[in-house]
Chains A and B, each alone.
Chain A
Amino acid sequence: MARVWTWLREDVWEIRFRRYVALSLAAVLAALGIWGGMTATKEDRSCAPGVVQPKGSDECVGVSWTTYAFGRPQFAETVQAINRENHRLKPGSYVTVALLEPFTATDADNLADVLHELQGAYLAQHQANHDANGLKPKIRLVLANPGATGAHWQQTVDRLERMTKGPDRLRAVTGVGLSTDNNKKAVKELTRRGIPVIGSSITADDLANGQNGKDPFPGLARVSPTNTDEARALASFAKVSAANAFLVYDRTGDPYTRTLQKSFEKMLTGSRYEAQPFTPPADRSKEGSTANVFAQITTILCTTPKSTDTILFAGRHTQLRQFINALGARGCVDRRFTVLTGDEGSYLAGDKELDPRALKDPLLSVRYTALAHPEAWVSDTAKTGGSAADARVLQALLDSAGREPVGPVGKVALDDGQLIIAYDAMRLAVHGIRGASPTGKIPALADVGLQWPQVKGKQLRVNGASGWICLDAHGNPYDKAVPIVELTPDSRSRFVKIAWPEGKPPAQECLPPS
């Protein structure tokens, strides 16, 4: 050590030339060290290309175009299939469609939903890229995650917007998932920035254009009927009268529950009973203390006259399950009740926490609208509004998706209708993109959203697997087939009948009236 010091002191420092060289070197080294240190200490918040953990969160949000599956192994096969399909595309020949879903959701219900949406979107992508006519442009599918609760929608939207420019050529966002406030904000922002959005399973009335004559989401198209339409279809199916129906609703509510509640309230104008509210936890997938409230509501129900046999439930599925469990344990076991609710009921099928007593109660039936149901067109005899042939196209695709080159895409389940609806949404997106570019060139971003009002009529409607998709001037489906589904004692969903918001299937032309 002393020798090194002596060497530095005498052989370097004393010789001015060497001193200056050494000082310069030391300065450069120090700068490098500082830079290196800062780089090393800077947190690497990146999860994958395009996907980062926002400050204060351990969720990976953003837009992924690689095989990154957001840490959810169940997505892996589908994501790889999508990646393979994306890589087959020649640069410059495609446009990008993003599937906006809460990929980092933690609860099994939502994850299953997302998986099915992913599978449906992929199948539609595959179909679009491999159809016999060789239509262009080809479709590249990317995964956009705003976080489990959609809290990071801003960041994801920013990234999606950047992808509309440059080689990604993002032209549409599909999916969106549930009708939550964050998703509503995200859709609002996306459409404000001119990005067309095709909602697959959103049903809330206020997440749609044309409400009160306003179009707050220019460029938004939906595949599912609004809650109002669902409620109307439900009413036309069940012949609900204000006199014998009882409303239970989510007091705080989200767009879905609120619009459903409003639709139900419209039907119950002049009801004998005051509607019963409940207040669920902020995260509605949590149990909370609502079970007690439902027990009390059940007690109230038992005191109503016997003619009151229909309960309209405007709430999310966890609360629905609690309510049904409470009904199963009701004191007035001799009373017959039919619970009617929206498409949240589809989550009940296979729910392990459903009380078997409630399920097996012959006097208690649960019916709900589904977004789609695999048996709808097989069993129903409607001549218009959809067809079994259209449903079989998807079935054929599914059959080939079990193995290469299409699949594998993981475990497939159609019961909840998510796969079907996502498939239809993607097909609508492709329809819009290609409609905006009849020559097969890359369409302008703004042109895609302008296609929605013309999706109607014999030629231009989309013959979805869930039924015909004929959009009105606001991008909402007109008289979309609403499968009514019943919960069986073995906790499955059984297709009952297709109901129609207009009370009957659309005409062959499928043109909404003015």
Chain B
Amino acid sequence: MHRGLHGRGALFDTDPPGLASRLVGLRPYQLRATPYEHASEVPFVVFAGGRGLGKSALLRELRDAYRGHTPVALIDGEERQFAAPPAERPEEAWSPVGQALTTVAEQLAEPVTGAGRIGFPRLAAGLLAVAAGGWSDRDVPRIRQEAERILLLNETGSWISGFAGRWVGKIVSKLVASLSGTGPVIAPIIEATLEAFAEGIGPAPRRLRRAAGWYRDYPNAGGSPKLALILLSRHFRAGGDSRRHAERYLVRALLADLDDAYAGVVQRSHRRGRPVVLIDNVQERAGLGLLEPVLRDRADGIADQVVFFAALRGYGHAALRNAERRTLPAVAREAGWEPGTSPSSRALLVSLPPLTPDDTLHIVDTASDGPALSSSDPPVPSQLPHATHRLTGGSPLGITLLAESAKQNLPQGAASLGELLTSDVAVHEDHGGRPAYQELLDRLVPGGRLDELTVLAAAHDRDSACALAEAQLPDDFGASGVLDLEERLAEEGWATADGQFVGDPFLRALLLLRLHHGDADHERWRAVHRTLIDHYTDEDRVAPPDSARYRLHHELALGKADFAVAHLRDTFPRTDTRGWLSSLVFIASAPYYHAHDPDGRDFDGHDHRASVALGHTDAAQQPPDSVDAVLHLRVRRLLHAVWQLTDPLVLPDSQVTERLRFELEQLSNLRPAGNALLWRASRDWPSDALAGRPFRIPGDDDENASGNGNGGQ
């Protein structure tokens, strides 16, 4: 059975141990110790990457890998519970960090093999002081509820655990009783809490007493835990930097409680490894509220032994300015991380690479090996894994969902990736199916503006995007909306690429698919492309240098190949071969959705590009009289061949590939000056097409030339 995620061996490997093993000190999925790489201080590991790169899946897998073996907690900064206080809870007594700490502590408290629950008396005392800031004597049921949840963090699940409910109730009654009719609430509550701790009510009284004394060192507390907690509560309520100061103490309290659970010979003989805290969407308030205090405390020399794995959307953050950067494969054997002096240097930023074609193959194999695909079903087409990788660019989310769609839809007769994307896929067994591309877009572009982005996906730069916004989007969107979206894409870590507004080819393909399928008669689709055709033919403006290419690209997207054929045919003898090939590839990168009639409608639902490329339609074709008919037909066949073979939604056709080679060879004979380039292309492109690689213009070192943007971090 395969455990762990595909392509993430650098993290989950056991032999030699991967990053997780070396930091946690335990093998994933096994209760077996491994030597630590960082014995004294652990880096705060932040996985960086855009949406769909599998960060959340990674954290979930880490939790599953260590659950039950060492204390592990997983929170998501985007969860609703961290967005706003629950009803009736006043803002000044609640913060995402406090909520996150409660959630983390509750998860960490769970018993593991060999050891019982962990109690968090320091954190409980602090949280109680903070919560008391929002209590008044009018709201006894809520007070009870909040106090009970916080006090239960103290429970250690020892043999007294049967009494836990009782002692919690006892303290809560004490707290409620301490509420006077009027006047301040905090001081009496804190007093009652500390008293209860000091009296040793509840489990492990010695630990409680020690915990009660922990706050003595709070600045200006003068050695009095009570004053310290009052100050803490006051700082928290004050908001701003004061609150951050108080929150930092709360985080420290959590870590101190955890350290306590690992202190002493007896405790250590019951536990292996280190506790693990997983924070998804660490860029959110709840996440940063944990990240920053931990990094600052570590920089200040207040050490802890907790292993943090966080997931950051995008590739950078202000709080991680000086963090050491690595790629995941680079940390497979050793991280080589050394903490610097600044807080952010205590973090290790690990960017997640896209999956490799091999990983894609494994995922597709795993999905299609499921029981749903019986032996009577058609086998998975051999090119599917590579084509999937070409389409998704190695996005784990895209690959997984496509593999799932293949599992569900291949038996139903879907043959191309386009069909797999537009077919319904049921992600959960109890949910109905939805088109795969919609499912993907919901996850890749959540949070609104999807419609606008769908339209702008056809644009090539800010100018064309603005033109589109002006013509196709509501007035209030405008240029600022375009800039806003552009920035958001960059923030979320989406790649940029020259000549495309949406740089990531997979996202762009999905958006264009959505644009095409947005309405039944593709009206929107045609309107968008026409707008862009107009934009690039606008006589009033200074046309961009390659405006012809762009115009022809969109003409082709509308199904009109004649202009493109004419342009390529006419420019073939004149322009330099590299430029010509580049134009060919760019124009042919136009999206294609079945055969369209002159009005842009599907008329037969079949891809006619192959038949054109193979010359089946040559007889019906009437080249203009004035031109070289052979060249015309050859260019036409070539254009359609490239168009089809570079279409990421279609599986490569070996016949068309062969034809492409032949046409390019023939063309190379016609152009003695550039025949080397054409001949090179006739060798490279067919193999690129079959392997699912983008076409490279021979002699062009820039791999992004064909539009496969992958960098731009």
Please give the residue numbers on chain A whose beta carbons come within 8 Å of chain B beta carbons, in ascending order.
Answer: 9-11, 14-18, 20
Please give the residue numbers on chain B whose beta carbons come within 8 Å of chain A beta carbons, in ascending order.
Answer: 30-33, 113-115, 266, 268-272
Within the complex, the shortest CB–CB distance from A173 to chain B, in Å, comes to: 67
Q: Is A10 touching B31 in the complex (CB atoms < 8 A)?
A: yes
Complex Cα spacing A16 to B114, Å? 9
Apart from A10-B32, A14-B31, what 20 extra A-B contacts exist at CB < 8 Å?
Answer: A10-B30, A10-B113, A11-B31, A14-B32, A14-B33, A14-B272, A15-B31, A15-B113, A15-B114, A15-B115, A15-B269, A15-B270, A15-B271, A15-B272, A16-B269, A17-B114, A17-B266, A17-B269, A18-B114, A20-B269
Given contacts A11-B113, A11-B114, contact A17 B32 (CB under 8 A): no
Chain B: CB-nearest residue to A20: B269
Q: Is the interface of A mostly helix, strand, loop or mixed?
A: helix
When distances are taken between beta carbons in the complex, the residues of chain B under 8 Å from A9 are 32
When distances are taken between beta carbons in the complex, the residues of chain B under 8 Å from A20 are 269
Complex Cα spacing A168 to B114, Å? 60
Q: What are 22 A-B interface contacts by the 8 Å CB criterion? A: A9-B32, A10-B30, A10-B31, A10-B32, A10-B113, A11-B114, A14-B31, A14-B32, A14-B33, A14-B114, A15-B113, A15-B114, A15-B271, A15-B272, A16-B269, A16-B270, A17-B114, A17-B266, A17-B269, A17-B270, A18-B114, A20-B269
Complex Cα spacing A14 to B272, Å? 7
Complex Cα spacing A16 to B115, Å? 11
Q: How many A-B residue pairs have CB under 8 A?
A: 30
Complex Cα spacing A10 to B30, Å? 7
Interchain residue pairs A-B with the least CB separation, the first 5: A15-B114, A10-B31, A16-B269, A17-B269, A14-B31
Complex Cα spacing A383 to B257, Å? 114
* Residue of B30, B33, B114 contacting most chain A CB atoms (<10 Å): B114
Chain A: CB-nearest residue to B68: A11
Complex Cα spacing A10 to B32, Å? 6
Complex Cα spacing A17 to B33, Å? 15
When distances are taken between beta carbons in the complex, the residues of chain B under 8 Å from A15 are 31, 113-115, 269-272
Within the complex, the shortest CB–CB distance from A15 to chain B, in Å, comes to: 3
Within the complex, the shortest CB–CB distance from A299 to chain B, in Å, comes to: 99
Chain A: CB-nearest residue to B115: A15
Within the complex, the shortest CB–CB distance from A21 to chain B, in Å, comes to: 10
When distances are taken between beta carbons in the complex, the residues of chain B under 8 Å from A14 are 31-33, 114, 272
Within the complex, the shortest CB–CB distance from B507 to chain A, in Å, comes to: 43
When distances are taken between beta carbons in the complex, the residues of chain B under 8 Å from A18 are 114
When distances are taken between beta carbons in the complex, the residues of chain A under 8 Å from B269 are 15-17, 20
Complex Cα spacing A20 to B272, Å? 15
When distances are taken between beta carbons in the complex, the residues of chain A under 8 Å from B266 are 17
Within the complex, the shortest CB–CB distance from B228 to chain A, in Å, comes to: 35
Complex Cα spacing A265 to B115, Å? 99
Complex Cα spacing A505 to B33, Å? 104
Chain B: CB-nearest residue to A18: B114
Complex Cα spacing A409 to B113, Å? 74
When distances are taken between beta carbons in the complex, the residues of chain A under 8 Å from B32 are 9-10, 14
When distances are taken between beta carbons in the complex, the residues of chain A under 8 Å from B114 are 11, 14-15, 17-18
Complex Cα spacing A48 to B144, Å? 77
When distances are taken between beta carbons in the complex, the residues of chain B under 8 Å from A17 are 114, 266, 269-270
Complex Cα spacing A20 to B115, Å? 15
Within the complex, the shortest CB–CB distance from A418 to chain B, in Å, comes to: 77
Complex Cα spacing A118 to B153, Å? 87
When distances are taken between beta carbons in the complex, the residues of chain A under 8 Å from B271 are 15
Within the complex, the shortest CB–CB distance from A23 to chain B, in Å, comes to: 13
Chain B: CB-nearest residue to A17: B269
Complex Cα spacing A349 to B32, Å? 90
Within the complex, the shortest CB–CB distance from A502 to chain B, in Å, comes to: 96
Complex Cα spacing A484 to B469, Å? 153
Within the complex, the shortest CB–CB distance from B86 to chain A, in Å, comes to: 39
Within the complex, the shortest CB–CB distance from B660 to chain A, in Å, comes to: 54
Chain B: CB-nearest residue to A19: B269
Complex Cα spacing A11 to B272, Å? 11
Complex Cα spacing A497 to B407, Å? 124
Complex Cα spacing A14 to B268, Å? 11
Within the complex, the shortest CB–CB distance from A349 to chain B, in Å, comes to: 87
Complex Cα spacing A10 to B113, Å? 9
Within the complex, the shortest CB–CB distance from B33 to chain A, in Å, comes to: 6
Within the complex, the shortest CB–CB distance from B31 to chain A, in Å, comes to: 4
Q: Is A16 touching B268 in the complex (CB atoms < 8 A)?
A: yes
Within the complex, the shortest CB–CB distance from B367 to chain A, in Å, comes to: 28
Complex Cα spacing A10 to B268, Å? 16
Chain B: CB-nearest residue to A6: B30
Within the complex, the shortest CB–CB distance from B173 to chain A, in Å, comes to: 37
Complex Cα spacing A16 to B271, Å? 8
Within the complex, the shortest CB–CB distance from B438 to chain A, in Å, comes to: 44
Chain A: CB-nearest residue to B114: A15
Complex Cα spacing A15 to B272, Å? 7
Complex Cα spacing A393 to B113, Å? 88
Complex Cα spacing A20 to B269, Å? 9
Within the complex, the shortest CB–CB distance from A426 to chain B, in Å, comes to: 72
Chain A: CB-nearest residue to B273: A14
Complex Cα spacing A16 to B265, Å? 10
When distances are taken between beta carbons in the complex, the residues of chain A under 8 Å from B115 are 15
Chain B: CB-nearest residue to A12: B114
When distances are taken between beta carbons in the complex, the residues of chain B under 8 Å from A16 are 268-270
Complex Cα spacing A9 to B32, Å? 8
Complex Cα spacing A9 to B113, Å? 13
Within the complex, the shortest CB–CB distance from A141 to chain B, in Å, comes to: 64
Chain A: CB-nearest residue to B271: A15
Complex Cα spacing A90 to B275, Å? 76
* Residue of B30, B31, B271 contacting most chain A CB atoms (<10 Å): B31
Within the complex, the shortest CB–CB distance from B171 to chain A, in Å, comes to: 31
Complex Cα spacing A96 to B136, Å? 96
When distances are taken between beta carbons in the complex, the residues of chain A under 8 Å from B30 are 10
Within the complex, the shortest CB–CB distance from B255 to chain A, in Å, comes to: 23
Complex Cα spacing A16 to B268, Å? 8
Within the complex, the shortest CB–CB distance from A37 to chain B, in Å, comes to: 33
Complex Cα spacing A317 to B115, Å? 87
Chain A: CB-nearest residue to B113: A11
When distances are taken between beta carbons in the complex, the residues of chain B under 8 Å from A11 are 31, 113-114
Complex Cα spacing A174 to B32, Å? 77
